[in-house]
Structure 1
């Protein structure tokens, strides 16, 4: 059975439903090979989130077999001009993956968030970037920022647009769950359907689900 790689999930540390141990157990049940816990952060809670997450990983990670647990954050709704500073601070405090909450069409995200996110060397993934511009997709390609195809209701509405521009300019794509609830976790079959529904071919879907995660994991460690 093929493994799932999911780099965008949330726990009770922010607005998710599960504590970290539950999060990882659900991931195991769904045959995850790797999961990033990326709770929402701004300047007010970034230390609490990362201190709590790193304590969990230091204490319990060794007991969860056959799954890579990656500490991360999702920089969310911050003024765009401080995205780079928050992302840099997150990496200094132990985040292996920095996700930025992109300009999804279903939330009032600051205009300019996509612009600043794809230009930061500390940002790994721009999540659900909505109607992202060609200019920003080009910058993502230049700077090695992955773009997300979201499995989450609402956020997924712009997946086709994101996929089209990513293919045009050579940006690496990932399928992520943005899981907040137990029913949000992916399995490989559903993740594959998300990729195919965006208009990619079979081999491209395999690359998105298997090869691109390997590239990101190598960056983390």
Structure 2
């Protein structure tokens, strides 16, 4: 194949069936004819939607981490817990690995995901060839599997059920922000169109770079 011509084929991620890329118009889903797995899930204005959701997520990330998730009141004494302070309590109790997991998967990974999505969708929306776009896209797709805010929220709800009999438990602004953040990140993952993103990234590069970095 001529190196200056973009590849108009697509391979199934599950069974490796190689086929011609179908023409997608509007909101459509394309499945593999051999194994039935989803190949393309097209969403109109995916870059613009992703940018709006990423910015909303970054805004929600601040109160979700800065404000208390729960406030415990026992015998007139109050204790507020944020995501970071709960990780520090686990560390002081000798559960260093659990504390590290909370810091990574409840704070750092969501932050990196939202920053990468903002970078990617901003570049595609503005049609700017910003550096390391293919690397940013690959990193986002890997990190998208490691966001565990839902697990942390479930752990908080379980703690509320166990503590409600021995203390007054008051949900804080951080808990509401965390719930909204989970909804925004889940929506951003469902609205992102990886096939469209990869092809727009390739279109921003030179013809040779399109072949080297194209759709994964």
Shorter chain as denominator, the TM-score bin is: under 0.3
Which of structures 1 and 2 has the bigger CA Rg?
A: 2
More strand by share: 1
Higher relative contact order (CA 8 A, sep 6+): 2
With normalisation by structure 2, the TM-score equals: 0.23
Q: TM-score, normalised by structure 1?
A: 0.23
